[in-house]
Amino acid sequence: MSTGIGARVKRKEDKRFITGKGKYTDDIRMENQAYAAFVRSPHAHAKVTGIDKSAALAMDGVVDVLDGHQLTGDGIGNLICGWMIHSRDGSPMNMGAWSALATEKARYVGDAVAVVIAETQAIARQAAELVMVDYDELPAVAFADKALDAGAPEIHDNAPGNLIYDWVIGEEEATDAALASSAHVVDIDLTNNRLSPNPMEPRAAVATFDEAEDHYTLYTTSQNPHVARLVLSAFYQVAPEHKLRVIAPDVGGGFGSKIYIYPEEITCLWASMKTGRSVKWTADRSEAFMTDAHGRDHISRVRLGFDVNNKVTAMRVDTIANLGAYMSLFSSVTPTYLHATLYSGQYAIPNIFGNVKAVYTNTVPVDAYRGAGRPEACYMIERAMEVAARELDVDPAELRRQNFINEFPYQTPVILQYDAGDFGGNLDKAMAAADVAGFAARKAEAASRGKLRGLGYSCYIEACGIAPSAAVGSLGSGVGLWESAEVRVNPVGTIEVLTGSHSHGQGHETTFCQIVSDRFGVPIENVSIVHGDTDKVQFGMGTYGSRSGAVGMSAIVKAMDKIEAKVKKIAAHQLEAAEDDIVIEGGEVKVAGTDKKLAWHEIGLAAYTAHNLPPDMEPGLKEGAFYDPSNFTFPAGTYIAEVEVDPQTGVTDIIQFTAADDFGTIINPMIVEGQVHGGVAQGIGQALLEQVVYDDDGQLITGSYMDYAMPRADDVPFYTIEHNTTVAPSNPLGIKGCGEAGAIGAPPAVINAITDAIGTDALSMPATPQKVWSALQGAATQQAAE
Amino acid sequence: MDMTGEYRIGAPRAEVWAALNDPEVLKACIPGCEELEKTSETTFEAKVVQKIGPVKAKFSGAVELVNIEAPASYTIQGEGNGGVAGFAKGAADVALADNGDATTTLSYQVHATVGGKLARLGSRLIDSTAKKLAGKFFDNFHAHLSPDAEVETEDQPQEQPA
């Protein structure tokens, strides 16, 4: 059976995961290990006027109790946001100070103010309860739309009115003029609900300071250990890079929330130096709800203009984005360049303007979560198209088709240039698979059972494979977004691939091996993937933004190009042939058209014995490469949701969910389908169930699975998944990426289906039975009044 | 959380008012109250043990009586700290109406908020717990003032959406 590109190879990593033998950060046990427990503010906004540690320090087994003044006193720097955004007036964003342990003020419920280091986790937690913090409570603001109100409590001194930036993209005047002269304008208010990421493994860290070597080692739940090391070193001044090793072992999911460097990792490193102990911290689920960066939380007004022929003329978006109490690592870019650059969707829209005001609130910091800005953009354009079709009384699929971009490359008015796609083909495939033609009959049959059946479309597009370094640099990024790889062929012919990408559920240990197996014909079990350790892999930018295929694998391809060239030179020398005549096939290196050949392992051995290499050739067979993409990639597709609503209860049942995706080249269809399943499940979660709730005082109300509803098996349907492939022209494998599509495309499809079923667009996410039922009553009342 | 309620108590208004200002009576009637000490004419220190959903905590806090219109009404406000369990604070406007038949109608209006773990884990239980505690308090209070009488409630506590 093939193990190359396109094969449904079973995941190599699953054996250890499903037999409980994965090695996660919490499984790491160091000698002389102590445990950290954080003392957290129960107030959303309060001055810290005093910390009495005496009772905690007096407890048996307590090693030390440390606070923010000690931390800053030792020169540990503030947490930073790594992407500079400028306001429309040219001023830089207002980044408030964020100390890993709050010194003067706590700004959200869960803000750490002190840490207890103790012999056991239980003692640390008990002692944390004995640390008496005096708070002087301040008024708090929890909601994006209240943060800008005159007189709202100010959270950071350098952010007057809680405004972080007032950013614009596109042409305002031209857009407003085009809207004013449009034959029809859709004008809708949308809320993109705040979500908690909920990876299965909560965050954890084990930090060890080696006094003899003046060196730190940090095991942590990171999606990007090299970026963590860079930031910990360059900005937080924990240790210089060569004195800091960061290891992200098996990581149980991230969805973006493990990109960032949080106060806890910094504190554990510093506390390890302070106490001379290894310091371990593992979040419990309650801490995860309270401190993991949340996602989404946008309030928007969207206006979409049409001419008399139903062609889109212009789009204007005005958004307030809630960034929480502090600016997390990539928080600034999520509602701007990762978001507004996708306003055009799959449509030719000549005029686009967007304004995003980012605000502080007394809530957990908000940052990228699966999709990162793109789900918010997709929700806007796809809800607006659906509402437009209803208002214009035309078929929603045909309205979309009429406005599709059909020629590539296509330059949008919002920076991005789409390089390839087949939007009409995606739509056709989805409509055929979903049997849209038979929908009317199914609707009638449902009506006979008293059920309301609805069909909703979502034609999503995203920008992935982030990204050309020069491009993101010009837009404010503090880092480049290339990827690195090293391919080592051992003397026995087995191969190790070192990658700067990080796998935390994506199956890299399988797919990355497949491209090597495909290229050199070696058995997949002879290839292993090394990642997640800054001492082993020289550098890498990590995994997020569906970039590991398009960028990470491209770096491996570049390294394999170099290996191939050297292998051919060795073979040509040994087989006395011309390099151009050498081919690599089925694990053999041959002279084309002859029976002269060497086995793959013989080349490896030749490279390392160096007994008979071409003159001037260095021994060994190891090559590295850095790959910087030349463009984003643009995965796109059509999702169709079919739902049944029970008008008596408001309960929505998703009957059928059809996805037709264009992900470019697919390495392993089974893994790609798994990514779509997971992404769509999260998208359905956002559409139907999930909502982080704060009360007016900034208290987190949804702090457990009793109150935060995650999708369960019976909330999601079986999926129909189709592929319609156009290859990405910008990278050697033609990969576009698939990790986020489901979470981006699903929410509008589901909401469009429910609103189709109930006959009103006055419905917000999550569409809980209560909301759906209320919307139905509202629609009935309105109809009666008319 | 907001809650209102009304109770008919089988005792004259002056007697009810006195009881409402007597730390011993209050201590006996407040569910879970371990200590209640009068620190001035209008302030008390209290220790109360409560369990709300999965969170059990000992709250220590200060209670103050304001807007006193003896013997007709006062506002009782306070704030309790339950350590790692979080905190609760709130105020209740209490009014006594003389029914003229040696009975008194007590009405109250409570606004309270909780924070920390209590809010995170117990929010959905706060309203029902508060209702239960209020019911218990007035049962106790009524029993204290008129030991032989059956408690007569005209109106059970009503929750209002926060």
| C-alpha B82: how far from chain center | 17
- Residue B162 inside a domain? The answer is no
Q: How far apart are CA A188 and CA A390, in angstroms?
A: 13
Q: Residue A405 to residues A380, A419, A462: CA-CA distances in angstroms?
A: 18, 11, 14
Is there a contact between A701 and B120 if contact means CB atoms under 8 Å apart? Answer: yes
The domain of B6 spans 2-157
Contacts of B56 in chain A (CB under 8 A): none
Q: Which ranges of chain A have pLDDT less than 50?
A: none
B108 at A interface, C-beta within 8 A: no
pLDDT at B154: 47
Is there a contact between A699 and B117 if contact means CB atoms under 8 Å apart? Answer: no
Residue in A109, A129, A704 nearest the CB of B121: A704
DSSP string, A287-344: HHHHHSPBB--EEEEEEEEE-TTS-EEEEEEEEEEE--SS--TTTTTTTTTTTGGGTT
Q: How far apart are CA A200 and CA A678, in angstroms?
A: 13
pLDDT at B161: 47
Report whether A387 contacts A312 (CB < 8 A). Answer: no
Indicate the residue type of A16: R
Q: How far apart are CA A534 and CA A499, in angstroms?
A: 10
B56-80: per-residue pLDDT in tens? 888 888 989 999 998 999 999 988 8
Nearest CA of chain A to the CA of B100: how many Å? 42
B162 at A interface, C-beta within 8 A: yes
Q: How far apart are CA A625 and CA A623, in angstroms?
A: 7
Residue in A129, A703, A704 nearest the CB of B84: A129
pLDDT at A690: 98
Q: Which long-range contacts (CB under 8 A, 24 or more apart) does B45-51 make?
A: B46/B78, B46/B80, B48/B80, B50/B82, B50/B129, B50/B133
Contacts of A122 in chain B (CB under 8 A): none
Contacts of B86 in chain A (CB under 8 A): 42
CATH 3.90.1170.50 at A14-138+200-253+258-291, yes or no = yes
Q: How far apart are CA A726 and CA A272, in angstroms?
A: 51
B120 at A interface, C-beta within 8 A: yes
pLDDT at A234: 93
Report whether A471 contacts A481 (CB < 8 A). Answer: no
**Strand partners for A652:** A645
pLDDT at A169: 98
pLDDT at B149: 52
Contacts of B120 in chain A (CB under 8 A): 109, 286, 289-290, 699-704
Is there a contact between B120 and A286 if contact means CB atoms under 8 Å apart? Answer: yes
What's the CATH number where B118 sits? 3.30.530.20
Nearest CA of chain B to the CA of A39: how many Å? 9
Secondary structure class of B104 (helix, strand, coil)? strand
Which two structure tokens, joined as six digits, stand for A567?
Answer: 């292998």
A286 at B interface, C-beta within 8 A: yes
Q: How far apart are CA A38 and CA A25, in angstroms?
A: 18
Nearest CA of chain A to the CA of B54: how many Å? 11
Q: How far apart are CA B154 and CA A428, in angstroms?
A: 66
The structure tokens 């083909």 sit at: A425
Q: How far apart are CA B155 and CA A449, in angstroms?
A: 42
- Whether residue A396 is preceded by a cis peptide bond, meaning omega within 30 degrees of 0, is no
Q: How far apart are CA A767 and CA A776, in angstroms?
A: 12
Q: How far apart are CA A145 and CA A650, in angstroms?
A: 28
B87 at A interface, C-beta within 8 A: yes
**Strand partners for B152:** B8
In the DSSP assignment, the letter for residue B78 is E
Contacts of B82 in chain A (CB under 8 A): none
In the DSSP assignment, the letter for residue A387 is H
- Residue B135 inside a domain? The answer is yes
In the DSSP assignment, the letter for residue A92 is B
Mutant choice from B55, B84, B128 vs A, greatest count of A C-beta within 10 A: B84
Residue in B87, B120, B162 nearest the CB of A290: B120
A680-710: per-residue pLDDT in tens? 999 999 999 999 999 999 999 999 998 999 9
| C-alpha A522: how far from chain center | 33
CATH 3.40.640.10 at A482-627, yes or no = no
Q: How far apart are CA A676 and CA A702, in angstroms?
A: 27
Q: Which residues contact A598 (CB under 8 A, 6 or more apart)?
A: A571, A574, A575, A588, A589, A606
Q: Please report which helix (H) or strand (E) contains residue A370, including its range.
A: none
Is there a contact between B115 and A697 if contact means CB atoms under 8 Å apart? Answer: yes
- Residue B20 inside a domain? The answer is yes
B84 at A interface, C-beta within 8 A: yes
- Per the structure, the count of domains in chain B is 1
Nearest CA of chain B to the CA of A213: how many Å? 39
Residue in A109, A702, A707 nearest the CB of B116: A109
Strand A46-52 relative to strand A105-106: parallel, antiparallel, unpaired?
antiparallel
Contacts of A42 in chain B (CB under 8 A): 86-87, 115-117
A707 at B interface, C-beta within 8 A: yes
Total length of chain A: 786
A45 at B interface, C-beta within 8 A: no
Is there a contact between B116 and A704 if contact means CB atoms under 8 Å apart? Answer: no
Is there a contact between A703 and B119 if contact means CB atoms under 8 Å apart? Answer: yes
Q: How far apart are CA A152 and CA A157, in angstroms?
A: 13
Q: Residue A605 to residues A254, A567, A590, A613: CA-CA distances in angstroms?
A: 40, 11, 16, 11
What is the end-to-end Cα distance of chain A in Å, rounded? 66
Residue in A43, A44, A703 nearest the CB of B120: A703
Q: Which residues contact A533 (CB under 8 A, 6 or more apart)?
A: A225, A245, A246, A247, A248
Nearest CA of chain A to the CA of B64: how many Å? 18
Contacts of A43 in chain B (CB under 8 A): 115
Q: What angle do CA A244, A247, A250 make, to 5 degrees?
A: 170
Alpha-carbon torsion (A390, A394, A395, A396), positive or negative? negative
Fold designation for A372-466+635-785: Aldehyde Oxidoreductase; domain 4 (3.30.365)
B114 at A interface, C-beta within 8 A: yes
Q: How far apart are CA A465 and CA A414, in angstroms?
A: 18
Phi first, then psi: what are they for A768, rounded to 5°?
-70, 160
Could you report the predicted ipTM of this complex, rounded to two decimals?
0.79
Q: Which one has a higher pLDDT value, B144 or B149?
A: B144
Is there a contact between B117 and A704 if contact means CB atoms under 8 Å apart? Answer: no
A136 at B interface, C-beta within 8 A: no
Report whether A174 contacts A160 (CB < 8 A). Answer: no
pLDDT at B87: 87
Contacts of A289 in chain B (CB under 8 A): 120
Report whether A271 contacts A117 (CB < 8 A). Answer: yes
Nearest CA of chain B to the CA of A372: how many Å? 26
Residue in A43, A128, A703 nearest the CB of B121: A703
Going from N- to C-terminal start, the domains of chain A cover 14-138+200-253+258-291, 372-466+635-785, 482-627
Secondary structure class of B109 (helix, strand, coil)? strand
Asked whether this chain's domains A14-138+200-253+258-291 and A482-627 adopt the same fold, the reply is no
B98-143: per-residue pLDDT in tens? 998 989 999 999 888 888 888 888 777 888 888 888 889 888 988 8
